[in-house]
């Protein structure tokens, strides 16, 4: 598994902390940008790069994307066939677990303006450790999602 990361300016500092944390955990991480803080950057430019990589091998690779709310970032990521991005901007961690068990989410979008670093790392750990349930009803639903065009 390779974990692809990307952010916008609002998520830049948190992304750097996440990259450092994941590397210390021994995980393979690829940072798709930005490589420096630029307040006027456009998140689709970077998020699309991470989503493209996850889409190439959506059963093995994962992506973590970070923005102010995480909403726009998830919208961009979900435009790519095979990508199932979920948004986390704080609160109950049950949503993280369910997104993996029921939806086999392969991208996690974090709202940096709402989630402190320690909570983000806890959510990421849970997301990476929770397997997809492979229950027939969830497999069936994901297959239906994959039928929709992504143009």
* DSSP per-residue codes, 68-92: SSSHHHHHHHTTSTT--EEEE-SS-
- Contact in structure between 109 and 79 (CB atoms under 8 Å): no
Of residues 10, 118, 1, the one with CA closest to residue 63:
1
Helix (H) or strand (E) holding 25: none
CB atoms inside a 10 Å sphere around CB 133: 15
| Residues designated catalytic | 73, 102
């Amino acid at each position: 598994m390779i974990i692809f990361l990307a952010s916008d300016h609002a998520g830049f500092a948190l992304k750097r902390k996440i990259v450092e944390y994941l590397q210390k955990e021994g995980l393979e991480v690829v940072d798709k940008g930005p490589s420096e803080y630029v307040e006027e950057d456009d998140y689709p430019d970077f998020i699309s790069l991470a989503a493209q990589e996850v889409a190439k091998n959506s059963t093995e690779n994962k992506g973590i994307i970070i923005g102010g709310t995480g909403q726009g970032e998830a919208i961009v990521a979900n435009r790519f066939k095979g990508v199932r991005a979920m948004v986390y901007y704080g609160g109950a961690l049950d949503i993280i677990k369910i997104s993996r068990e029921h939806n086999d989410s392969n991208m996690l979008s974090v709202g940096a303006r709402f989630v402190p670093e320690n909570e983000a790392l806890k959510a990421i750990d849970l997301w990476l450790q929770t397997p997809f349930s492979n229950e027939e009803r969830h497999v069936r639903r994901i297959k239906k999602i994959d039928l929709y065009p992504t143009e």
